[in-house]
Structure formats: C-alpha cells, structure tokens
Structure 1
Amino acid sequence: MKNEIFNNQVKVVYSFAELINTAFEGTQNAICWERNLEGDFKEIVSNLKLKDNITEVFAEDLLALELSEKGSKARKIILDDLQSLTDFGASPSLNLLKNYDRDDEFDFISTDVYSYHVDRSPIGTDTFLCTYYGASSDILPNDQAILKILIPEIREKLKELHDGSEEDFESFLKENYFDLHFEPKPDSQPINLGLKNLWRLAVDHPQQKVLPCIHRAPIENDGEYRLLLIC
C-alpha cells in the first residue's frame, strides 16, 4: 500500500533538469530527485559551529573547513546543489539545526513547522529541500489529512479566541496561519523524505494546478543536529 501511495503522490526523477522541468499533475504534488550520494556529511556537521538553534551556513563557511576526502566529496555535493538552485533562480539556504521554535501558545492547535502544514505564496513558486544529515521530514497524501480548522472542537475554540464578527472569522484564520495546518487521519501513512534526496514540493499559490503538498519537520534525534537545504 505504501508503494501505491508513493506512486500516486510522488514523481521520482534522476537529474536536476528533470526535477525543475517536470510538471505536477493529478495527485502528484511532490517530485523527488532520488540520489545515492557518497561523502561524509556527518564530518561537515561535526566541523560546523552552531551559533543559534538555527544557524545559516554559507558557501564560504563550507570552504573554510578542513575535511577528509569523504568530507570534501560531501561539501562539493552541497555546493553544487546550492549553485544549481541559485542558477535556477531560487534562493537556497543551508541550515545547521538544533531545533525550531515550538508554538505552545494554545493547547488545541499548533502552527509551528512540526505540525503538518502546507506552504503558501502570493506568486508561483515551489519549495525545495534536502536533508543531508539528521532526521528528515515527512509528507502526507492530501486525502489522509483533515484541515484542523474544520475539526468542530478546534473551530469552536478558534471562534472563542477570535471574539469578533462571523464575517471576519475566515480572515482571522488566514492572518494567523491556522488555515494551513492539518491533522493526520488515524490510518494515515506518512512518507519520509529520507537523506540526500532533493525534493520539490507544491506550494499553495494562485497559479497552482494541484493541491499543495502537506509536510512537517521531524522531531530531531537526541544529541544530533540536522543539516538542511531549503528554499
């Protein structure tokens, strides 16, 4: 069953050109450039210095590292990915992650990246991401999730929180990003994005012809940082 879900939601490609030129269609809203890469990405993580919970790593930071042959291979892969995405017109960011901030303001709904959510943009764009080291993200088929604001008990609590007119309620949900978050159904089967694969995920924008891809950040492994490219 999992393979069927994977085939229905995910298109697998084998080059960067295919990744950026393949169109989303039907129920497919995620494209995976599947890669089996050599190189020691753990060595890179071990040599980088975490300044905050999320530290952006620049090309010059990577180039300044003294690495073994395997570490150098990993560095070249990352630099090539950053350059390919930049040449494509994207703005990639390489992050060394301890953890993201948690949204614990309300006990009945969360809007942090650990919650299943979709990305939204006012212009046509896609989300690209690759986890080189550490825990990797999950995506979820759209028919295996329910929008949190449609769950009656959550909706009622949001109405109490809003304490305004019915006409303004939908705007309130959108302004606070409540309308981007999903609850997985009981029998849902998330797809883990794995390590070193470069992914392109559909975003909610005016020209989008497919449903946006539902995804979430993983809970980090104890004592382990993540190395993530995202844009």
Structure 2
Amino acid sequence: MNQTFSDSSQIVIVSTFSELVTTDFKGEKNALCWYRNLEGDFKDIVSKLQLKENITEVEPQDLLALQLSYQGNIAREIILNDFRLLTDFGASPSLNLLKCYERDEEFDFISTDVYSFHVDRSPIATDTFLCTYHGAASDIVANEHAEQKILIPEIREKLAALHDGPSEEFENFLKENYFDLHYQEKPNSIPTNLGVGHLWRLAVDHPKQQVPPCIHRAPIEKDGEYRLLLIC
C-alpha cells in the first residue's frame, strides 16, 4: 500500500467498487480510494487515440475500434469495466484524452482554473469520481492545510475593488464568479498525489454533505505526454 495514502488523515482506502460507493464520508475523511495495481498497457491506448482538441472525449466505441496489443487490450477492458460499474451505479463517466486545460490568466492575484486547488460544488447530492490511467495525476490536500483564497486579506481587498455593486452583494459576487471555490496551500502543507490506476471518490460541496468538500487540483502535464482520465 502507498505509504502516503495510509498516512493521510483525509483518505479511506477500500478494496472493491462496492466499498467505494457505499462507504460514508466521516469527519476529516473526504476522499475514498479504491486502491489498484492495474495490469495492461494504457500507453498503447493513448498512442492510438487521436487528440482533436486540448481535451478530447473518448467514447467506449472509440476504444473498441482501436487495434491494440495484448497488453493494450487488457487496459481497454479495465477502462470499459470501470465505465460499466460507474454507469450501473448511476453516474455519467467521461473518458478524456488531455493535452492541457484552459488556463485562467485574467487576474494576476487569483486563479480560478483547475490547476488551482479548488472544490467542486453541486446543487444536488453527488460525488466526484476520477481515475488517471496514464500521465500526470491530480493532487488533493487536507482541508486544514489550505485556506480559502477569498479569506486572504490582500486577495479579498483586490476582489472588493473588482466588485461593481453594493457591499451587501459582495458575497454573491464571489460565489457567482466561483472565487469562493479556490484555495491556497498553507506553508509546509504536503499535498497527496492520487497516483495512476486508483479509482477515487471525492466529497463535493452540496446541501446534504456531512463533511468538508475535498480540495484538489489538476497536475501540470508532462511535456509530450497526454493524460488519460476517467471522470464524473
């Protein structure tokens, strides 16, 4: 078992998909990991797929159309099985071939793209599932090791200067522009990398959530290497 995972105060390790979807988040535990050492050649799949944009969605039929090696076929069956498990559970998985995400460069004092630590928000009770099959993997950080950016005085002051409206509407302004979803690591914080092959379930901010939402970020991609990511 990955020592970093077992040492983390926010992560629960499970060994089956059933455990992944039925285990409750509690206290500080807002990230569940179905820990797996996957066989198969996922790089073979990535090399055969065609990147049409910086983010290209890959459908199951696209996978089935690929001519793969024996190990590549094993990898394909794993992805298709994950699709089936999540779909049968009621989720809507999406497989993405990624070169990079769009960067937010509008302001020099706050970033609101996915490379910034952030939480997901939903009006309904749901969770975020994700698995990186190939390439760089996402990071999470414990909630006590990060601070909401809108609470940092110098950032809040600059956001207030941007706000063109009554002061009583400032909090709504922050929410409507998603500034409140983003976090900054505290000094000496140690993020946890989610690794390759593990299927994760992360807590989302919604009205029925009993734990703090999981703070996470997309990784900076490695030069010349695409990511293959399942997410829903």
TM-score range, shorter chain: over 0.9
What is the match of residue 41 of structure 1? 42
- CA 1:133/1:222 → structure 2, altered by over 3 Å: closer, same or farther? same
TM-score (norm 1): 0.98
- CA 1:5/1:110 → structure 2, altered by over 3 Å: closer, same or farther? farther
TM-score (norm 2): 0.97
Once the two structures are superposed, residues 143-190 of structure 1 have per-residue CA deviations (whole angstroms, 9 ceiling, x without a partner) of 000000000010000000003211000000000000000000011000
* 1:5 CA displacement: 7.7
The aligned amino acid for 1:135 is A
What is the match of residue 179 of structure 1? 180
Gaps of 5+ in 2: none
What is the match of residue 27 of structure 1? 28
* 1:8 CA displacement: 1.5
Once the two structures are superposed, residues 6-35 of structure 1 have per-residue CA deviations (whole angstroms, 9 ceiling, x without a partner) of 441000000000000000001000000000
8 Å Cα contact 2:5-2:11 kept in structure 1: no
Within-5 A mapping of 1:73-112: 73-112=74-113
Instruction: Give the whole-Å Cα distance in 2 for the aligned partners of 1:32 and 1:201.
Output: 9
8 Å Cα contact 2:4-2:192 kept in structure 1: no
Once the two structures are superposed, residues 15-67 of structure 1 have per-residue CA deviations (whole angstroms, 9 ceiling, x without a partner) of 00000000000100000000011000000000000000000000000000001
Within-5 A mapping of 1:45-194: 45-194=46-195
Instruction: Give the whole-Å Cα distance in 2 for the aligned partners of 1:76 and 1:156.
Output: 52
Instruction: Give the whole-Å Cα distance in 2 for the aligned partners of 1:219 and 1:6.
Output: 24
Alpha carbon RMSD of aligned pairs, Å?
A: 1.1
Aligned residues: 230
**SS, match of residue 199 in structure 1:** strand
Instruction: Give the whole-Å Cα distance in 2 for the aligned partners of 1:76 and 1:21.
Output: 24
Instruction: Give the whole-Å Cα distance in 2 for the aligned partners of 1:99 and 1:13.
Output: 30
Identity rate of aligned residues, in percent? Answer: 70
Instruction: Give the whole-Å Cα distance in 2 for the aligned partners of 1:201 and 1:9.
Output: 10
Structure 2 residue 211 is matched with structure 1 residue 203: no
**SS, match of residue 228 in structure 1:** strand
Gaps of 5+ in 1: none
Moved over 4 A (4+): 2-5
Instruction: Give the whole-Å Cα distance in 2 for the aligned partners of 1:65 and 1:34.
Output: 27
8 Å Cα contact 1:6-1:191 kept in structure 2: no
8 Å Cα contact 2:129-2:199 kept in structure 1: yes
